[in-house]
Structure 1
Amino acid sequence: MNEEEIYLSQIPKAAPSRYQAKTVSRVLDRLFLEKGYANEQSRESLVQAWQDAVGQSLSGQSKVGQVKRGALQIYAANEIVRSELEYLKSKALASIQAALPEMKIQSLKIHLQRFGS
């Protein structure tokens, strides 16, 4: 190292400014989050993962609810569907966790809610 490099290395580095430019992807992520586009997209992927996990017949007789504290809320049309979903619960959970690891779903809560099919 020459004298100039030694001198420059001793100068303290300035702290990063809080007004630094943001990347386009970070700005878009924030916009999607604020406008709710991210929720719609994640909801669609969650519904698709549910259909893949339990099949067309059972997914048609159940509804995907919200994720609350790591638990995905599922609403069954009748008691028979609810029983079948309880039986398939661990398999369905593993399938959803594999398809959507970023959602961090830890359990499924299956509720009875009568609705038209």
Structure 2
Amino acid sequence: MLYLLSLTQKKPTMPHTSPSFLPAYDYLVELLSQTDDSDFIREILAALLTEKEQKEIANRIQIFALFQQALPQREIAERLGVGIATVSRGAKAYGQHDINQLLPNLSHLNL
């Protein structure tokens, strides 16, 4: 998953991986930051991620949207048809990052 810079620009939160991973990851971040073509971005994501991984990313975003509505974890799990562990991992990420700033306007998803 893409690493996210905190709004204070302190330190990026990186996935746990070896340093050899970083040049390729940085390349992807730079490439995505240089385009506003959503079809191109969809093609890149389809090439890089399996359908299951794409669904997991979509689920994480939906989990964030439902947390913004202050729904309990169990209700989120039931609504999305995912396990409570999936929602708990989303809750952890939600608490570690300023999701309201990083992913604004999640309310338009109408969940």
Please say which structure displays the higher CA radius of gyration.
1
Q: Same fold (TM over 0.5)?
A: no
User: What TM-score, normalized by structure 1, do the two folds share?
Assistant: 0.29
With normalisation by structure 2, the TM-score equals 0.30
**Counting strand residues as a fraction of each chain, which structure ranks higher?**
1
